[in-house]
Amino acid sequence: MVGSGWRFLSGISYYTCRLSNALAERYEVGTILMRRLLPARLYPGRERVGHTLADLRYSEDVRVFDGIDWYAVPSLFRALAFLRRFRPDVLVLQWWTGTVLHSYLALTLAARALGIRVIVEFHEVQDTGEARHRWAARYVRRCIRPMLSRTDGVVVHSRYDEEALDEAYRLDGVPCEVALHGPFDHHVPDRAAREPGDDVCRLLFFGTIRPYKGLEDLIEAFASLGPRYHLTVVGETWEGWTRPGEMIAGSPVRDRISFVNRYVADAEVNEYFANADVVVLPYRRSSASGPLHIAMSHGLPVVVTAVGGLVEAAEAYSGAVLVPAADPDELRQAIVRAAGLAGQRHTDPSSWGRTVDAYARLLSRIGADQEIETSSNQTVPRLSPDLR
């Protein structure tokens, strides 16, 4: 498994860890982390790079190499040495940003030279912030093709993503499996969700603040809600998208809005969700959403826009209220409907076991399942100083 590490913390960091741990219950798993994604001064969350904010840890059954740096030398060569020692049957690359492309291409070439199958799991075709820059979009579209031409199979989170991927890269003949996002229940504290009691409905927006997140639609809709509604916005501003913050500052109901403008640690995540009655995610586009899965793990009602892969992620969840994107009036009405669902715990339909089953199906389709069963690579490789 290759994916985001803890230094440049994001939802993909948590996903890589949870998936590695889940797969380790059925397979022998090693993980290579992308440690420094790019020069820190270019990262939107530069102030927190390297801070310890996550409580989640890799299972003792997963051998971890931490990790590969953007500038490659010498970390990439050490990662390649780890790959040769571990000698997996399958290399799984978590794809979400073009900053990892040159490292992924090197790992793919090395894997194929060693007879290792390659799977790419797409969280989106390309990060939206990167895609806005013509040179970055052109770089990814051109340079990802040598990697994809050596890919044996791909994984996506929804049929929507499968269609978007096919439209972008035309992976005709490459087996594709839909693996729904597993639960983010590591954020759930050992206590029940807050009871309304005081007749105040507490709304929560959680996640990075970016143009596609639609937070400005929520701020506009909230201004027309009555005094029993309170809103907490928790998120770090990315891409210089300060309009939501400016709208909060100028809102006529500013006294009923709390604004926590930073990336919060896991312990705080638990508290914000435990003290919410309804989670509101007014995205204007999205392939998947970590905050949606945190909300479902807490059993909370969630208002979510019917865009991208979010429909498939939430369709089996009894607490979901779907709403059109970029429509503050519809959003306001949906919040009122969701408030009627507060006070009861809804069952999260997602499962990491189901995600692992999807991987098992893909391994069978590409002929790797028999190789894993008969592999003689059952010895634990000697750890180097780079492993932990």
Rounded CA separation 62/22 (Å): 10
Q: Token pair for residue 66?
A: 């931490």
Q: Tell me the residue ranges of DSSP E strands in the chain.
A: 2-4, 29-36, 62-69, 90-95, 117-122, 153-156, 176-178, 201-206, 229-234, 257-260, 278-281, 302-305, 320-323
Is residue 67 reached through a cis peptide bond, with omega within 30 degrees of 0 on the bond before it?
Answer: yes
Place of tokens 């939802």: 11
Rounded CA separation 341/158 (Å): 26
Give residue-wise pLDDT tens across range 146-174. 999 999 999 999 999 999 999 999 988 99
Angle at 163 between CA 162 and CA 166, to 5 degrees: 85
Residue type for 106, please?
A
Phi-psi sector, 154: left (phi>0), alpha (psi -120 to 50), beta: beta
The pTM of the full predicted model, rounded to 2 decimals, is: 0.92
- Residue with the bigger pLDDT between 197 and 303: it is 303
Rounded CA separation 352/162 (Å): 20
Whether the predicted pLDDT of 198 surpasses 60 = yes
Whether the predicted pLDDT of 210 surpasses 70 = yes
131-140, 183-192, 216-225: which range is least confident on average? Answer: 183-192
Give residue-wise pLDDT tens across range 60-74. 999 999 999 999 999
In this structure, how many other beta carbons lie within 10 angstroms of the beta carbon of residue 101? 17
Q: Token pair for residue 105?
A: 């291409």
Q: How many H-runs (helices) and E-runs (strands) does the chain carry?
A: 15, 13
Q: Using 50, 70 and 90 to split pLDDT, how confident is the model at 308?
A: very high
Tell me what the mean pLDDT of segment 16-24 comes to: 98
Query: In the prediction, which pLDDT does 132 show?
Result: 85
Classify 295 as helix, strand or coil.
Answer: helix
- Which residue, 229, 235, 351, is CA-closest to 282? 235
Rounded CA separation 35/228 (Å): 45
Give residue-wise pLDDT tens across range 74-85. 999 999 999 999
Rounded CA separation 115/143 (Å): 22
Classify 109 as helix, strand or coil.
Answer: helix
Give residue-wise pLDDT tens across range 324-380. 999 999 999 999 999 999 988 999 999 999 999 999 999 999 999 777 765 544 433
Rounded CA separation 353/23 (Å): 9
- Residue with the bigger pLDDT between 267 and 305: it is 305
